[in-house]
Each structure stands twice: as structure tokens, then as C-alpha cells.
Amino acid sequence: MPSSTLPDEEASPETCVLKFSDLDFKESNLTSPSNSLKAEFDGNIKKKYSFAKKKAFALFVKTKQVPSPSYEFKEKWWRCCQQLFADQTNIHRHVATQHAEEVHQQTASVLKQLAAALSAPQSLRSTDNKNPPEHCLIPRQEVSAWLPDVSCFNPDELSSQGDGEGEVLLYYCYCDLEDPHWLCAWQTALCQQLHLTGKIRIATEGINGTVGGSKVATRLYVEVMLSCPLFKDHLCEDDFKSSKGGAECFPELRVGVFEEIVPMGISPSQVSYKNPGIHLSPGEFHKEIEKLLSQTNQEQGDTILLDCRNFYESKIGRFQGCLAPDIRKFSYFPSYVDKNLDIFRQKRVLMYCTGGIRCERGSAYLRAKGVCKEVFQLKGGIHKYLEEFPDGFYKGKLFVFDERFALAYNSSVVSECSYCGAPWDQYKLCSTPQCRQLVLTCSACQGQGFTACCVTCQDKGGKQASGHTQHSFKEECECTARRPRIPQEQHA
């Protein structure tokens, strides 16, 4: 990945302004073994592997640094995995044993930066910093230069939590970024300054974030983002979707650099955000659905309303008359399209998702297949539609990826309790340790002890509680065993 802030090989990793956060990198496409990583590069780059690894490790540790408690005289403390470290040796040991994969991913990014810098034209690698190229001006500056002045605010205004005055923002911006690592460092510092929690994914193709905090903090965040030259021609205030919440909606702040800002599992170089479907405003999308639902025989019509989300999202809320794939991850979406290509042949496809981001590249993938008449997508996603049409054609709740699980805009309940079948749409996590399935179990069934996602998990949980089984087991139960990874739809 090109970078304008690439230091010389002799530069100290501790002096770099780049920062990496403690994120789940499992969906990254980079290979794990060091030998495989080295094999991707030529001899000159291979020689720099040791330097790149040390730099990546130092930068990862640096992002974990937090202010020391007021009663301590030490300047540096570190927080990671909900643990507080006062000694540098201990945080180093923790990162080495618990975050080797993340450090490896960042090592790969550093090496790719080196490769890109060495292959770039000499004019872009000039050591003359007096007249750098215009697109390099921002990354060459210290992160602190792009942080807002918050001295006029009371600290409580920025950090208030749980008082009902907070807000959660959801946004994305597709645009070419020369230096995602500088942006990662800036976003980490910015969110920490504003006491925001949440998740932010950054790539050369753009940024995707959801953050929570006080309204003062979130409003400041929006202002700073809109004033940043990197986004001024791509991002507007309407691109930020807001809902009631706060910093308590997320366990921590996670900011990281990835290949994709939404994990579809296909390189942006193969399927680009630059070739999406036609964007429809909520009003235009509403009219299209109205037209679709007025047809006597929708299956014989030329329009398909396609939900791009996962099955557990559409289960508690969806548009009337939609096709909701029974897939567990968005990275399964391309395979779903491939397996069910005939149902899209010569059809007008209306796509939608939570905030619009999955439709950007999802529609690009569908268009690339060349079988549809037209492909449209809901601009701003369900979020923006419900702001304008809370009692429109979307029924049920809107699933969100934070500790709230869902947002309610209307009183419709479209899902039911997994045990008794009563109307119910309030998710909880499976009560069995290690299982991350979401459960729909009503209050009455919970009172009877039905708190797991299925009978198999309920049984495993009982055995664990009585000490008759091992401390861990794979995330496999009836829920996953009975669901095909890629479902085959019935073609009319």
C-alpha cells in the first residue's frame, strides 16, 4: 500500500506516529506464516522483515498506552483485553503471547508499504520535504495537529455516559486513501480525546465507523470529519446516521487497518466501490416498493427486493416482500449470488442494508455478473429510510452491531420466541459459554431456564455447570448444523 510517511530503515519504531489497535483480524486475507509473508516480496524487502516486525510490535503496544491513575507517579500505563498493565515488560509479554496474529498483519502492511515506496517513481520518493506532492501534505503532519481544541468544554460534557444524553453515529466513506495507517493513528487519538468508543475500519478504499459518546463529543466528531481535507469532497453531514445511545453501547474503542472497510471477502482491486448500483433516495425506494407490492403476482414480476444483511438481522426486521438470504456473514454474499444467479437474470434488483455500505460493493459484485436488467440500492440504508418512513414498508426492528442489538422505529414484531413461538424480537446472547449465537427467547421461557440458542447448547451449558465436560467447545450446535452455509433459493 502506498504511503507518504514511510520512515527510513534506521528510524526508531517508537518515534513513529502510526498506531494500530487491538482488533479482530480474523477476516483479513493476509497469510499467517512468516515464511509465506516473506515469500511475497523480493530480496530487498525480505531483508527488512525484522525491522518491519519490530516496528509493528512497537506501534501496537503504543496504541495501548493510557494515562496513569492520578495516584501513581508513572507516566505510562497500558490497557489491553480489559487488563491494566503498569510495567512495560508485562504489556510486551501480553502482546507477544495474545496478539501475535495482529502484529503479523501489521508487519505485512509495513512490508507492503516498503515495497510500494521502493517501486514508486523517484519523484514521489524524494527526500526534499520542502515541496511535497499536494496529496501528501496531511499525512506528513503530526496527528496532534489534526485534533480539535476541547479546552472550552467541561470534561463531563465529553465523557458523560448512561444519562440518556448520548448518541451513536454510523457512517462510511468510500474514497481513495494514500495512507490508511496515518488515518488510523489520527482516528485513535481523536476518539480517545472525545471519549468515544466503537469500531472503525480503515483501508485504502475508505473508512467505515460506528462510535458512541456524549452528544457534545459526537457533534464535535462530525465537525472534525467534515473539515478534514481527506473527506471534504466525499462526506457530508447527511452521511452520518445517529441514534440514541452512548459510549456504553461498546465495550471499548477499536480502530484498525484492513484490506476492506466491510468484509465481503473479495479484494477491492477485483470488485471496486466505484462501480455500484444506482442510488435511490428513501422516497424513491419507497415508491419502488409500493409499486412492487401492488403487483398481483410479485414472483412473476421483473423486480426483486434483496436484503443484503445476515439472517439474524432480517429475522427481527425487514421490508415486506423481500428476499432475505439465510447467510451468516456478508462474506458469504458473493457465493450466494453465484449459487443463485438464475433468480437475478433479467431482473431489476432493489438492494438494501443497514446503512448502505454493504450495498456499495454488493451491488458492484452483482452488476459485474452481467445478468440483471438494473441494480439499485437504498442510499443511507434502512437507517435513513426509517427516519423518513418510520411506519413505511419496513416492519420490525433494525439490528445494530453493538450492545443494544436493535433499534425500534415502529411497533411491529415480525419474529417469535424460539421455544414457544410467541411474538418476540429482543435478542440475548446464548447463555452457554463460548457460544456467540443470538437467542430469541421470551420472558416466560427465560423464567423456565430456556436461555440457550438450542437444545444442544442448553445441554452443553448444563454439563459445564455441573463440571461434566471440558471448559471449551467449538461454536457448533443445532443452529449451525442445520443451516447450509450457502442456501439455494427456489427459482420460480
Return the active site residues: 353
What's 46-106 look like in SS3? HCCHHHHHHHHHHHHHHHCEEECCCCCCCCEEEEECCEEECCHHHHHHHHHHHCHHHHHHH
Residue 134: Cβ within 10 Å count: 8
Nearest to 451 by CA among 480, 486, 426, 423: 426
CB 166 within 8 A of CB 219: no
As a whole number of Å, the CA-based R_g of the chain is: 24
Nearest to 327 by CA among 491, 455, 490, 488: 488
Instruction: Tell me which H or E stretch contains 359.
Output: helix 357-368
CB 259 within 8 A of CB 203: yes
Instruction: Tell me which H or E stretch contains 333.
Output: helix 333-339
CB 325 within 8 A of CB 483: no
Distances (CA, A) of 302 to 243, 282, 288, 318, 346: 35, 21, 12, 20, 7
Bridge-based pairing of strands 76-80 and 374-378 is: unpaired
For 485, the grid coordinates are: 452455509
